[in-house]
A and B are shown apart, each in its own frame.
Chain A
Amino acid sequence: MAGNWLRRRRGLGGNGGLGRNSGLRGVSAAQAPGRELHDRNKEQHTFNARAAISMVLVAAAFLVLFGRMVQLQVFEADAYRARSDNNRVQTVAVAPRRGLIYDRNGQLLAGNRTIHSIAVVTELASNIDALLEEVGALVPLGEADVAGFHKRLKAKRRPLEPIPLKLNINEQERATVRVNEFRLPGVQVRADIVRHYPEPLQMTHAIGSVRRIDETDLERLDEARYAATAFIGRHGVEQFYEDSLHGEPGHRRVETDARGRQVRTLFEQPARAGADITLHLDASLQRAAADALGDRRGAVVAIEPRTGGVLALLSQPGYDANLFVTGISAAQYHELKASRETPLFNRATRGLYAPGSTFKPVMGLAGVSHGVTTWEDTVNDRGSFRINGQGRVYRDWSWQPGNSGGQGIVNLHRAIYRSSNVYFYSLGSELNIDDLASFAGQFGYGRNTTVDIAFAQAGVLPSRDWKRGALNEAWYPGDTVNLAIGQGFLLATPLQLAAVTATIANRGHPVRPRLLLSSDGEVRENDPPPPLPAVAGPTPEDWERMVDAMEAVVHRGNKGYQQNGTAWFYIGQDDIPYRMAGKSGTAQVVGIPQGEEYDEEALDEFERKHAWFIAFAPADDPRIALSVLVENGGGGSSVAAPVARAVLDSYLLDEAGDLKELPPHWLAAGAATGSAGAGGRPPRRSVTLKQRPTSEGQQFAQRIADAPVTAR
């Protein structure tokens, strides 16, 4: 039945017009049976042979494929397996949390916060410009963002490192980008933990700040340690304690897909947070100093004389270090950089100024120690001085046109509280410069005695050798005369002057300025230089008499014309609940030609005199020593002294205006210092560096105790 059906169908086909073609066996066979049959067999034979050859060729081809697979999957399998793992398994460094920085009362000075930013992994993006345009359509991109991005794009960086495009985006921008992330290959919204400074303007110069790691950093940094770190400490504590604050990175082995998305974590070694450190700094004191200075340019450095702990390190104007964390525009940066007020410059540690009359206490002690003068010797100050009575005229500060000035008969005590130039000119003309230089060097002039203050300048303490080396000139007697009133070649930083003041406050025991009080972890930068030796020369009595003279600068008043301390009129008139020793200084910025008048009005603001004041208090048991500099401020007593007074008051007085009780750690005299318990934070594990100031303080306390009781 079926056969019939098929035959019929075939028959239909055969009659359909194609019948004369040789293909249909039935038709052609009927025409020429014998030959056709022969041909058919031959054809079949030929075809079969060719089909067989084809089969062999196909089999051979497939064998080649199989051989190739054997090559890839058996002989080279290990290499490809490794390659496949390299593809999928990425070791991602985990950034450690940067250590926090506290002040001595536990107030946070530098913390961390989360910001969100848009970043681009350029390796994953095909067309950067088109991508930026697309992102720009979603989130407004400023010119600065794009310019900064292109700058970072050109810089050397690690492979697959996301390049920040827009920092600190808000929640809505974040959502917009997140939603569109899938069609923007390479674009990421990143949550980064970045540094945050709660009080940037006042604190920046003390603690420094972090900056984005740049090309030059990459060249010297330990690549493994900084693999996940985007910022590095610059300036201040942030730089000095970078190593400890940074912490140890962890790592995560993650499986990632081809787009770099992390699919799952295979292994995680958590990062170890950086050490939290507590500084000697007192934020409220720093604030008080900033308030007292107002918007004037200048510096205030306060030191705890016992330990050298820096209580305040202010340089004004400051700047907002947070800008450098979240991205500063070129215009903003240029403004900071080009400003005549140089807000980026740390005056407190790097500004070199002539100390002016604040040098006189050191000068006086030098004279007494070297037997050039005594406390009783007097000089008749008529307002001017000539070496051997001839040549160049050196003037007293009180000189005015038409009035030669002068303080009359002055001994050392009076020369200090009246700040007689002529007395010290005379002293300078008799003192050997090398003796003076080596004496003053003991106080910290001309060298960097700091423990942990980044980039502190050493200043200039001139001597014969120094002058020959620096200027290739011989030392002239006039140089010593100039030096005697803190002018000429002598240069020091406000930090140095604070240290000098602390040395006087300690009656000849210099301390090294230091910022670190304690830490909750190991501080590797801990390699404190040895304690400084006591100043050799002055007797304890000399020290006390010098302190007396400095007290007179502030407290001697109501004595009539030319009888009051230089600063009394400005800060000493009301009752101060503590005794304060101070010395004013006014440093010339430009040389005034012989015979010409210093006319403040005629000078450019930036060429006016700098106002200095150094002070410590309470005078017989100093808790704080400081230096105040007001750049181009004018007179030290009128301008800088009130700032000093305000800072001392803030530190020493309570709200009622009475002298504060001594803090417990002070009374403990080194038994358990450093655990600044006032902040309400649990006591921190003490570290070795902290021990040093303690032991030094102990030694000092011991020395004080051992010293014969002298009249105070």
Chain B
Amino acid sequence: MSDFSRTASVDATASTRRKRRRIRTDGWLLAGLALVSCFGLVVMYSASGRDMGAVVDQATKLGLGFLALIVLAHLQPELFRRWTPAVYGASVLLLVWVLFDGATVKGSQRWIDWPGLPRFQPSEAMKVAVPLGLAWLIGRHTLPPRFRDVAVALPIIGVPALLVALQPDLGTAVVIAAGGLGVIFLAGVRWRWIAAAVPAALAALPGLWFVMTDYQRGRVLTLFDPERDPQGAGWNIIQSKTAIGSGGFFGKGLGNGTQSQLDFLPERETDFIIAVIGEELGLLGVLVMVLLYLLVVARCLYMATEARDNFGRLFIGGFTIVFALSAFVNIAMVSGLLPVVGLPLPLVSMGGTSTLVVLGAFGVVMAIHGAGQQARVRPRG
């Protein structure tokens, strides 16, 4: 596997460049991401009602994302570490800003709409900034982390998660928090701490009920009984389950999903796009999708083990968990396993910020991993 990056070199003799430069992107990961993205574009074609404009739009965003990925992959990992506090700090500031001056879409204030810039969601950046920040914090010392670092880590996770939850965007908040906790877990935090924290967290879970707004409680109740308000709160989940279920094993065929094409399925280009896959491409399509995600996750975790230092490992591992969790929570909510929270399916749902941030982060992953590869390969060669 490690040979892959070496063979993927560009013969630059024909180019005008003066130096031969190694492509530092990871072939397996890149292939996985490209497959997920392409699969997503095909589904987008159908989900948008055969609107090539939407497909081109999403393809452009993906293109920009891959461009960012390649650029970031060629930067020095040291650069990321150095900029981590600044990136984290800026992201938190943006989150605060959103709370005061964010654009409101569908009842939650998630967007920053500065003139001259495309509208973006700072909470998406947080999905990268939190793993970065924790990797930076914990990676300074040898693993497993000391109690003091863990104690400092908690507010680093908690503050942005809380800010995002206030938007309110519970889904992203959970993913951010889980990503951060994932970093702590990967850092090798002692099992007895985990053993102490997990029951405590579970015990606190019912308390969450009292913090939630009525709207969020409704979402939770709807999860257990969608039929209690089939035309209102239950509509989304009933229709998405119907879409998925009616797809059966082979699906109704791309573009033939009646739930998707006749507007029964809500948010079909964004959060509920997996239901389009389920309806039109069936269990088989879902299986391919899930396997592609697993491929990306597996490759990333493997790359994490190959990173050169703790910062690298922890960031790659942490971000991978964020990525995996985003996909999991999205599919779980659409299929009725979790309450409906606004959370896109990474790389497949329509959306600029998420696509750009995720692909950019994979660029960082590759940069870190590539540096490790260099370090590892060089003595051998």
Do A and B bind? yes
Contact pick for A259, options B263, B298, B302, B328, CB 8 Å: B263
Question: Is the C-beta of A10 less than 8 angstroms from some C-beta in chain B?
Answer: yes
Alpha-carbon gap, A2 to B12, bound state (A): 13
Alpha-carbon gap, A677 to B103, bound state (A): 77
**Which of A14, A48, A68, A80 is packed against the most chain B CB atoms within 10 Å?**
A80
- Is A39 in contact with B142, judged by CB distance below 8 angstroms? yes
Whose C-beta in chain A lies nearest to the C-beta of B303?
A51
- Is B328 in contact with A65, judged by CB distance below 8 angstroms? yes
Chain B positions within 8 Å of A76 at CB level: 245
Interface residues on A, range: 35 or more
Chain B positions within 8 Å of A64 at CB level: 332, 337
Contact pick for A10, options B76, B144, B185, B243, CB 8 Å: B76
Whose C-beta in chain B lies nearest to the C-beta of A26?
B375
Q: From residue B92, how far is it (CB to closest CB) to chain A in Å?
A: 21
Contact with A along B296-311 (1 / 0, CB 8 A): 0110011011001111
- Is A88 in contact with B143, judged by CB distance below 8 angstroms? no
- Is A62 in contact with B293, judged by CB distance below 8 angstroms? yes
Q: From residue A18, how far is it (CB to closest CB) to chain B in Å?
A: 6
Contact pick for A77, options B246, B298, B311, B320, CB 8 Å: B246
Q: From residue B241, how far is it (CB to closest CB) to chain A in Å?
A: 6
- Is B374 in contact with A6, judged by CB distance below 8 angstroms? yes
- Is B78 in contact with A16, judged by CB distance below 8 angstroms? yes
- Is A80 in contact with B245, judged by CB distance below 8 angstroms? yes
- Is A73 in contact with B245, judged by CB distance below 8 angstroms? yes
B225-251 interface (Cβ within 8 A of A)? 231, 239, 241-249
Alpha-carbon gap, A69 to B92, bound state (A): 37
Alpha-carbon gap, A5 to B196, bound state (A): 48
- Is B375 in contact with A72, judged by CB distance below 8 angstroms? no
**Which of B241, B242, B243 is packed against the most chain A CB atoms within 10 Å?**
B242
Alpha-carbon gap, A177 to B283, bound state (A): 44
Q: From residue B86, how far is it (CB to closest CB) to chain A in Å?
A: 13
Chain B positions within 8 Å of A77 at CB level: 245-249
Contact pick for B317, options A22, A47, A73, A88, CB 8 Å: A47
Question: Is the C-beta of B146 less than 8 angstroms from some C-beta in chain A?
Answer: no
Question: Is the C-beta of B286 less than 8 angstroms from some C-beta in chain A?
Answer: yes
Contact pick for A58, options B19, B297, B314, CB 8 Å: B297
With contacts A51-B305, A66-B286, A87-B258 known, is A80 near B144, CB below 8 A?
Answer: no
Alpha-carbon gap, A395 to B278, bound state (A): 97
Chain B positions within 8 Å of A471 at CB level: none
Alpha-carbon gap, A80 to B336, bound state (A): 14
Question: Is the C-beta of B202 less than 8 angstroms from some C-beta in chain A?
Answer: no
- Is B246 in contact with A81, judged by CB distance below 8 angstroms? yes
Chain A positions within 8 Å of B378 at CB level: 3
Whose C-beta in chain B lies nearest to the C-beta of A65?
B331
Whose C-beta in chain A lies nearest to the C-beta of B287?
A66
Question: Is the C-beta of A59 less than 8 angstroms from some C-beta in chain B?
Answer: yes
- Is A65 in contact with B242, judged by CB distance below 8 angstroms? no
With contacts A1-B20, A55-B297, A81-B246 known, is A22 near B140, CB below 8 A?
Answer: yes
Chain B positions within 8 Å of A88 at CB level: 258-259, 262, 264
- Is A65 in contact with B290, judged by CB distance below 8 angstroms? yes
Alpha-carbon gap, A12 to B82, bound state (A): 12
Question: Is the C-beta of A61 less than 8 angstroms from some C-beta in chain B?
Answer: yes
Alpha-carbon gap, A593 to B128, bound state (A): 107
- Is A84 in contact with B335, judged by CB distance below 8 angstroms? no
- Is B182 in contact with A81, judged by CB distance below 8 angstroms? no
Whose C-beta in chain B lies nearest to the C-beta of A8?
B76
- Is B142 in contact with A43, judged by CB distance below 8 angstroms? yes
Chain A positions within 8 Å of B263 at CB level: 257-259
Alpha-carbon gap, A24 to B312, bound state (A): 10
Contact with B along A374-405 (1 / 0, CB 8 A): 00000000000000000000000000000000
Whose C-beta in chain A lies nearest to the C-beta of B330?
A65
B251-281 interface (Cβ within 8 A of A)? 258-259, 262-264, 278-279
Chain A positions within 8 Å of B77 at CB level: 13
Question: Is the C-beta of B207 less than 8 angstroms from some C-beta in chain A?
Answer: no
With contacts A51-B305, A258-B263 known, is A123 near B186, CB below 8 A?
Answer: no
A84-104 interface (Cβ within 8 A of B)? 84-85, 87-88
- Is A263 in contact with B249, judged by CB distance below 8 angstroms? no
A17-44 interface (Cβ within 8 A of B)? 17-18, 21-25, 39, 42-44
With contacts A44-B305, A88-B262 known, is A21 near B78, CB below 8 A?
Answer: no
With contacts A2-B20, A46-B144, A50-B186 known, is A72 near B264, CB below 8 A?
Answer: no
Chain A positions within 8 Å of B298 at CB level: 55
Question: Is the C-beta of A191 less than 8 angstroms from some C-beta in chain B?
Answer: no
Contact with A along B122-161 (1 / 0, CB 8 A): 0000000000000000011111100000000000000000
Q: From residue B373, how far is it (CB to closest CB) to chain A in Å?
A: 10
Contact pick for A72, options B82, B245, B321, CB 8 Å: B245
Q: Chain A's interface: helix, strand, loop or mixed, by majority? A: helix
Question: Is the C-beta of A452 less than 8 angstroms from some C-beta in chain B?
Answer: no
- Is B78 in contact with A13, judged by CB distance below 8 angstroms? yes
Alpha-carbon gap, A42 to B142, bound state (A): 10
Chain A positions within 8 Å of B245 at CB level: 72-73, 76-77, 79-81, 83-84
Question: Is the C-beta of B204 less than 8 angstroms from some C-beta in chain A?
Answer: no
Whose C-beta in chain A lies nearest to the C-beta of B265?
A258
Q: From residue B153, how far is it (CB to closest CB) to chain A in Å?
A: 15
- Is B310 in contact with A66, judged by CB distance below 8 angstroms? no
**Which of A22, A24, A50, A87 is packed against the most chain B CB atoms within 10 Å?**
A50
Alpha-carbon gap, A385 to B226, bound state (A): 89
- Is A256 in contact with B242, judged by CB distance below 8 angstroms? no
- Is A62 in contact with B290, judged by CB distance below 8 angstroms? yes
Chain B positions within 8 Å of A55 at CB level: 297-298, 301
Q: From residue B138, how far is it (CB to closest CB) to chain A in Å?
A: 10
**Which of A17, A23, A64, A87 is packed against the most chain B CB atoms within 10 Å?**
A23
- Is A62 in contact with B335, judged by CB distance below 8 angstroms? no
- Is B244 in contact with A24, judged by CB distance below 8 angstroms? no
Q: From residue B273, how far is it (CB to closest CB) to chain A in Å?
A: 15
Chain B positions within 8 Å of A47 at CB level: 143, 186-188, 304-305, 310, 313-314, 317
With contacts A3-B378, A47-B313, A74-B249 known, is A263 near B262, CB below 8 A?
Answer: yes
Question: Is the C-beta of B22 less than 8 angstroms from some C-beta in chain A?
Answer: yes
- Is B242 in contact with A87, judged by CB distance below 8 angstroms? yes
With contacts A55-B298, A259-B263 known, is A73 near B305, CB below 8 A?
Answer: no
Alpha-carbon gap, A22 to B312, bound state (A): 12
- Is A73 in contact with B282, judged by CB distance below 8 angstroms? yes
Alpha-carbon gap, A354 to B199, bound state (A): 96
Chain A positions within 8 Å of B243 at CB level: 84
Contact pick for B241, options A66, A70, A72, A257, CB 8 Å: A72
- Is B143 in contact with A65, judged by CB distance below 8 angstroms? no
Chain A positions within 8 Å of B294 at CB level: 58-59, 62
Q: From residue A28, how far is it (CB to closest CB) to chain B in Å?
A: 9
- Is B293 in contact with A80, judged by CB distance below 8 angstroms? no
With contacts A50-B188, A68-B335 known, is A73 near B278, CB below 8 A?
Answer: yes
Question: Is the C-beta of A282 less than 8 angstroms from some C-beta in chain B?
Answer: no
Other A-B pairs beyond A65-B290, A73-B282, 16, CB < 8 Å: A6-B371, A10-B78, A16-B82, A43-B188, A51-B186, A55-B298, A55-B301, A58-B294, A65-B332, A65-B337, A68-B337, A72-B278, A73-B245, A79-B245, A84-B243, A87-B259
6 smallest CB-CB distances across A and B, nearest first, come from A80-B245, A13-B78, A84-B246, A46-B188, A257-B262, A258-B263
B residues bordering A, Cβ < 8 Å?
19-22, 76-79, 81-82, 139-144, 182, 185-188, 231, 239, 241-249, 258-259, 262-264, 278-279, 282-283, 286-287, 290, 293-294, 297-298, 301-302, 304-305, 308-314, 317, 320-321, 324, 328, 331-332, 335-337, 371, 374-375, 378
- What are 12 A-B contacts with C-beta separation under 8 Å? A12-B78, A16-B82, A18-B78, A22-B141, A23-B312, A51-B305, A54-B301, A62-B294, A72-B245, A83-B245, A84-B242, A258-B263
A residues bordering B, Cβ < 8 Å?
1-3, 5-6, 9-10, 12-14, 16-18, 21-25, 39, 42-44, 46-55, 58-59, 61-62, 64-66, 68-70, 72-74, 76-77, 79-81, 83-85, 87-88, 123, 255-259, 263
